[in-house]
Structure 1
């Protein structure tokens, strides 16, 4: 009898524990989604979906007709929510467009889509055409910086300026911590358990903004669930030809930022970009990691504003 009672109690505890973890994950996802959307709306952004032919791109936009346009491009595995705290400084004087690139965020994933940088650049061009925008300033982080440079090369007439923030897309003279892991067969973006996320997250920023533990847990779980999707996206964009032989084709005003503590993409690539783009304006931020626009949004916004005002 006692054994039966103990088994029943153990089963009940297991059920309650499972319900707790399920609720914890649900609460974390709801908090992250709700708070980021509310914050974006507070800054003046609305969510939209734009049909570009083969898909609908989700995006934030402040919808400021008649003003110069800025397109802000997130990195691999990120989404549009990395930009609003930086972007809020431009809502009065610019038409700010922050898309979820194919495979990311609310745009979603489809195994049939091409996730190469070439294909993503064509989608940005299609987005501008769908919005009836003749040309725009582009700023992109990481994979998004690679994309901003690719766009400036392939679509020069539509590029008012290109700003690359800790970008991928060239050969790195010194390997980063992430590169060393990848060459050893251990890509930190592809997660199987929470400890993988706990290793990865500190690599993304030297000075990350505060996030509650429940939110971090939800983000970790989402990475785990998306592992196979991220592998597909990474394979496509990683196989895109590198840019160093084409950087001289960027004729628009260009700027490069890098955090000197970047553990994902090594700061040693700065001279490669400078050699390829003679007119390049460069800023290296001391004590900052892979996402300066998230880590120091006010400072980077001031620098970007001065850059745009000086064009």
Structure 2
């Protein structure tokens, strides 16, 4: 295994589609509002240099894209690892990367296998355990033995699994509107096969993404700056990679549904900061559930305090007016709260 900042396409047949122009400045597009990005988000610019971690997993060569951003000014000796959500990428952490590096943190922001600029193998057994192991191996290659693990949305589920698997390597755990605060299957959301998820995911459009994000991520409000993240996601469904992206998304939807972490929060052994936008209403598969079940799902204003009470020595911060993505919706408010929370966790440990 090795880490390298230069890029060479993998010729892995159906295991991974061909790549080009990993960090090009702009994608081909039909007009200014409809960019077309490659199978691995070729054409979409990240805020920092993208490096590639090459490794073997499940009998195939894979690549994991990541940003490794040095602190600005004097380093504080700490590393923060930022884990993106399902409809997000490492790039969507750009504001938080800036805030953390200004505070002296080294920041690692990977794209998980199956997402964004990383490999999208057709045949891969996705699990939170596997993604956590991939991330842990990347950090070992980078010489990082201990870090603040911060996850948003699906990344919050992954960060929880990571902290459960590697408590000795987790200095602090930060969960930002994590999904998985409830067991959707146990609450009555019907199971969807990977094939069913694939068929629904193939219909992804910018309009649908925007409508969903407005209602869930941003508490019913919209600002033009959010469109960048809509087009980041939609652009991959306009290009040659639309089918492999839909397939990867389908398999990871099934992963999330069948691998709840909610039953293990009381087993966390690390200092934990839980940050919740109370207007969040995320629930995987909610639209497939009967109306009476839908009404019971995604109440983050209630789920936040409930889960915080189950995590040993957790600190809960709530944002009453914000939705699923508080770090994007209100970055200054969010980052002020983040550093207050991290400082309080430090004071508890001292």
TM-score by length of 1: 0.77
In 2, the alpha carbon distance for the partners of 1:119 and 1:215 equals 26
SS of alignment partner, residue 77 of structure 1: coil
SS of alignment partner, residue 252 of structure 1: coil
1:283 pairs with 2:322: no
Match of 1:222?
A: 236
1:150 pairs with 2:161: yes
1:46 pairs with 2:49: yes
1:245 pairs with 2:263: yes
In 1, the alpha carbon distance for the partners of 2:138 and 2:175 equals 20
Residues 25, 217 of structure 1: 8 Å contact kept: no
Q: Would the alpha carbon gap of residues 82 and 204 (structure 1) be closer, same or farther in structure 2, given more than 3 Å must change?
A: farther
1:295 to 326, 329, 340: 329
Note the residue ranges of structure 1 that are not aligned, 5 or more in a row: 1-20
RMSD, aligned α-carbons: 3.4
Asked which structure has the greater CA Rg, the reply is 1
Of stretches 96-105 and 64-73 in structure 1, the one that deviates more from structure 2 is: 64-73
In 2, the alpha carbon distance for the partners of 1:168 and 1:213 equals 23
Where has structure 1 moved over 6 Å in runs of 4 or more?
32-35, 179-183, 185-189, 212-215
1:84 pairs with 2:94: yes
Deviation at 1:140, TM superposition (A): 0.6
Deviation at 1:82, TM superposition (A): 1.1
Match of 1:61?
A: 68
Match of 2:24?
A: none
In 1, the alpha carbon distance for the partners of 2:263 and 2:198 equals 27
In 1, the alpha carbon distance for the partners of 2:211 and 2:191 equals 14
Q: Would the alpha carbon gap of residues 218 and 59 (structure 1) be closer, same or farther in structure 2, given more than 3 Å must change?
A: closer
In 1, the alpha carbon distance for the partners of 2:130 and 2:146 equals 19
1:104 to 105, 109, 115: 115
How many positions carry a matched residue from both structures?
279
In 2, the alpha carbon distance for the partners of 1:307 and 1:213 equals 30
Note the residue ranges of structure 2 that are not aligned, 5 or more in a row: 1-27, 284-297
TM-score by length of 2: 0.69
